[in-house]
Amino acid sequence: MPVCQSCHHKWSWKQTFVKSFALIGGMRCPYCDEKQYITARVKKRSTVIPLFIVLLTAIGNFFFTPTHVFLYSLAILLPLVLVINPFFVELSSEEEPLF
């Protein structure tokens, strides 16, 4: 779970999950109310992994399986990524550029 860079409190899964959808403009720490930002490395990873899952299942669907398997795999894998994502969030006190 992420740790606030200002007050060093560890955020809960629920706090991280809800606040992680605010990628633009940062997030306020629930403990000290300081603005925190998701690191650029985590932002890149959180966009690449779901894209990789979609591409992998689409390629598998194209070569090996019928369409319903593709939809079922997306329905299972993408929510799973959303549930696991808060465990890998890292915070920074300053906003980092993506490139």
Domain-wise residue ranges, the chain: 13-92
| pLDDT of 83 strictly over 80 | yes
pLDDT in tens, 5-50: 888 999 999 888 887 776 567 888 889 889 888 888 888 887 787 7
For residue 65, name the pLDDT band (cuts at 50, 70, 90).
Answer: low
Phi/psi at 5 (nearest 5 deg)? Answer: -75, -15
d(CA 8, CA 23): 21
Q: Left if phi > 0, otherwise alpha if psi is -120 to 50, otherwise beta: which for 14? A: alpha
Q: What pLDDT does residue 66 have?
A: 65
